[in-house]
A and B are shown apart, each in its own frame.
Chain A
Amino acid sequence: MSTGDSWHPVGLSHSIEAGSSAGTRLFGQELVVWRDTSGIAHVWEDRCPHRGMKLSFGFVRGDHIACLYHGWQYDRGGYCQYIPAHPDLEVPKTFKVPVYLTQEQGGMIWTTLSGNPPPLPIDRDQTVPLRSLYLDCSAEAAIAELGAVRLMPLASRVLADTVVHRLTETLYAVSTGDDRLLIGIQVISETRSALHLTICGWPKLYEGAGQSHFLDWALQLRRAIEQPRPRALAARGATAENS
């Protein structure tokens, strides 16, 4: 998967409350994801230009994020607006944090490291948040397992096949019958990845019992990815006997 001009999910929208921040990585690059108190999400380089402290350790006040180290405050554009040790200083425009394009879609926060990305595929579907799974494997290895656990429909008693669809390089869907989960693929590094899961559909249909139902599937999927399947173990055993 290329860093290129794609959009990449960096978390569920639900996971970043208004007035809060969290760190993450994309292709090894440290990012801070934060939401101002008006509800707008931002993705920036996770580094205060002053002394290199992670901004994700800091705190959000209104439409500013402040560094925990010396309290330097940055506005939505990434420009430093206030330095507590020099309250009367008009801060030079050069004190700026690199900011990345940020959008929310499918219940996820998306960013791109490119300045000129293609449009994010339009998806007007309502979604309900499920879970982010953080995994000690490559994104490719995680994608290969998406069909490993049968997805049970929430309401329908008719068993349908579990189908994995590739929507874009970084967005998959797993569906069964009328139920459909969106899975955003985040490359944290070559050996670590995240799957961001949401349920397509109306909140009144899926909130509560529906979330619990599909959380079980998500945790089974995580186990399937983390623990070698019996089939794989058997194959390995056979190889050992032959050698």
Chain B
Amino acid sequence: MPALVLYNYELDESCYKVRLALSLLGLDWQPVAVDVFPGKEHLTPPFLAMNPAGRLPILRDGDLVLHGTEAILAHLARAHDPSGKWLPPDGAGFAVVMQWLNFSARDLGITIAARQHSLFDTPGDEAALRAASAQAIRIMDDHMTARGFARAEWFAAEHATIADIALFPAFALSRDFGIDHDEYPALRRWARRFRALPGFKTMPGIPDYH
């Protein structure tokens, strides 16, 4: 059994971020399927022992058990990416990746709430969730518009980083919660680049063009 084990739910966009990282880094890993809906298995004692907050993804790397999507992405990049590109070691590259990981963990939380409301009927005000999600996605589009004028194609560096991995699903899955891609041209351009990365994988809700 490989050292890397991901407790995974296929429809969870945060699990998808980790699946993307594992695939883009070309790592050998093993999924453990968790019955989140309707089983709520992630809220049972064995899972709460691994993450008391009751959320996926959870990554096991040898003796290390880690929760928190952005922490898992940072760990994978630091521990398993010899190129050091996915998480630049220091300087502005490191700082800007952290800025966007923070944006992903905090500001894009609303897009996760919007999608769960749409797909799994969790409580929430649909119109308010959608408006706040559109606002967060527009911040990303404004950033990538400015990056384009500086001839840069990625969020934080001259190449893709874990910031791009953390930000991709909220945009790629936005149609799940009623936000089309029409009004975000800079993100459409970026998503096309992202989809062409070697090792890119889709998930349900992200079309696999054929």
Contacts and interface: CB of A to CB of B under 8 A. Distances in A.
Given A59-B209, A68-B207, A22 B185 contact: yes
Interface stretch (B39-47, B61-69, B143-151): B143-151
A27 interface: no
Contact of B146 (A20, A22, A215): A215
Contacts of A56: 180, 182
A12 interface: yes
B188 A20 contact: yes
A59 B195 CA distance: 13
Interface string B178-192: 001111010011001
Contacts of A23: 180-182
A212 B209 CA distance: 34
B192 A20 contact: yes
Interface in A10-58: 11-12, 14-17, 20, 22-24, 56-57
Contact of A22 (B145, B188, B209): B188
Q: Could you say which interface size class chain B belongs to? A: 10 to 19
B28 interface: no
A11 B181 CA distance: 13
B149 A215 contact: yes
B149 A22 contact: no
A57 B175 CA distance: 10
A22 B182 contact: yes
B142 interface: yes
Contacts of A194: 183
B142 to A, nearest CB: 7
Interface in B107-151: 142, 145-146, 149-151
A212 B146 contact: yes
Contacts of B149: 207-208, 211-212, 215
A131 interface: yes
Contacts of A134: 183
Interface in A47-77: 56-57, 59, 68, 71
Given A15-B188, A211-B149, A212-B146, 8 more contacts: A11-B185, A17-B188, A17-B189, A22-B188, A23-B180, A23-B181, A56-B180, A68-B207
A134 B150 CA distance: 23
A12 B185 contact: yes
Interface in B168-184: 175, 180-183
Contacts of B146: 212, 215
Interface residues of A, number: 25
B180 to A, nearest CB: 6
Nearest to B210: A71
Given A208-B150, A208-B151, A211-B149, A17 B192 contact: yes
Interface in A184-243: 194, 207-208, 211-212, 215, 219
Interface string B64-101: 00000000000000000000000000000000000000
B180 A132 contact: no
B183 A132 contact: yes
Residue of A11, A15, A24, A194 with most chain B CB atoms under a 10 A cut-off: A15
A219 B142 contact: yes
Contacts of B151: 208
Contacts of B175: 57
Given A211-B149, A212-B149, A15 B142 contact: no
A212 B150 contact: yes
Contacts of B181: 22-23
23 contacts: A14-B185, A15-B185, A15-B189, A17-B192, A20-B192, A22-B182, A22-B185, A23-B180, A23-B182, A24-B182, A56-B180, A59-B207, A59-B209, A68-B209, A71-B210, A131-B145, A134-B183, A194-B183, A207-B149, A208-B149, A212-B149, A215-B146, A219-B142
Given A17-B192, A59-B209, A208-B151, A215 B145 contact: yes
Contacts of A215: 145-146, 149
Contacts of B180: 23, 56
Nearest to B181: A22
Contacts of B182: 22-24, 56
